[in-house]
Amino acid sequence: MFLLHEYDILWTFLIISSLFPILAFFISGLLAPVREGPEKLSSYESGIEPMGDAWLQFRIRYYIFALIFVVFDVETVFLYPWAMSFDILGVSLFIEAFIFVLILIGGSVYAWRKGALEWS
């Protein structure tokens, strides 16, 4: 029934692409020099010894703002293939894209009402 022999190239590619990073990590682990000392174990940033505690809290608003940007940026990329195939797929595509844009607008209005877009 199934023609699995047609997928031999795919399976070969998957096996080789899985083994390549594993072998790279294994070989680098064998060849890398291991020298532990106080300089190796100390924290270091931009050539300056760190001052104070490394624990620094950020406000969650920065992360929410970044996530909203990423979501709307990635979702907007999906509109490009729809626009390029509009003449082939016709009205059904337009209705799907319109619903998709309405969902995006609803999400942005929700984020705006919740104050996620305020930077203060």
Enumerate the domain spans of the chain: 60-114
Identify the pLDDT of residue 17: 94
Q: What pTM was computed for the model?
A: 0.46
Write down the pLDDT at residue 60.
Answer: 78
Mean per-residue pLDDT of the chain: 81
Cβ-count burial of 31 within 10 angstroms (0-12 exposed, 13-18 middle, 19+ buried)? exposed
The pLDDT > 70 percentage for the chain reads: 83
Of the listed ranges 15-24, 61-70, 105-114, the one predicted with least confidence: 61-70
pLDDT at 1 over 70: no
Name 83's Cβ contacts closer than 8 Å, sequence gap at least 6: 97
Alpha-carbon distance 109 to 106, whole Å? Answer: 5
Instruction: Characterise 14 by phi-psi region: left (phi > 0), alpha (psi -120 to 50), beta (else).
Output: alpha
- Residues 19-34: pLDDT tens digits? 999 999 999 989 988 7
Q: Residue 107: what pLDDT? A: 85
pLDDT recorded at residue 22: 95
